[in-house]
C-alpha cells in the first residue's frame, strides 16, 4: 500500500478527521488519535497491549512496538509497504474502534 491509500482508507472511517500532532500527521475520531503517519512506509496504530502482543506474534517482520512508554501502552508501528492490504485494513479498523465513541462504533456496525 501507499501512504495515499492509507490516508484514503482512514478518512473513509466514520467521524475521522486528519490533523497533526508534534508535526506528524494523525487521524482522529472523537478528537482521539487512532493512527499517525510519522514517515513514509510506516503507520503507528493505537492498540491495547494485548492486541499489540498478538500482532507482534503474528506479524513480527511487519510491526514493532513504539519505543518507550508509548509502546508499553500499545502504540504499534506497522511498516505497510509490501504488507497484505487486509492486515493494514484490520489494524486500522481495530485502532479506530479502540478510540471511537461507543455509539459511533455501534451505529456503524463495526464491532
Query: Which pTM was predicted?
Result: 0.91
| pLDDT for position 111 | 44
pLDDT band at 109 (very low <50, low <70, confident <90, very high): low
Whose cell is 475520531? That residue is: 29
pLDDT digits (tens, 9 = 90+) for 37-95: 999 999 999 999 999 999 999 998 999 999 999 999 999 999 998 899 999 999 999 99
What is residue 98's three-state secondary structure? Answer: helix
Amino acid at each position: 500500500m501507499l501512504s495515499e491509500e492509507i490516508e484514503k482508507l482512514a478518512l473513509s472511517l466514520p467521524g475521522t478527521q486528519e490533523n497533526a500532532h508534534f508535526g506528524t500527521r494523525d487521524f482522529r475520531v472523537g478528537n482521539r488519535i487512532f493512527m499517525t503517519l510519522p514517515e513514509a512506509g510506516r503507520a503507528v496504530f493505537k492498540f491495547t497491549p494485548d492486541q499489540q502482543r498478538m500482532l507482534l506474534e503474528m506479524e513480527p517482520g511487519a510491526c514493532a512496538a513504539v519505543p518507550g512508554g508509548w509502546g508499553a501502552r500499545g502504540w504499534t508501528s506497522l511498516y505497510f509497504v509490501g504488507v497484505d492490504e487486509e492486515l493494514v485494513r484490520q489494524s486500522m479498523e481495530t485502532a479506530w474502534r479502540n478510540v471511537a465513541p461507543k455509539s459511533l462504533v455501534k451505529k456503524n456496525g463495526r464491532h
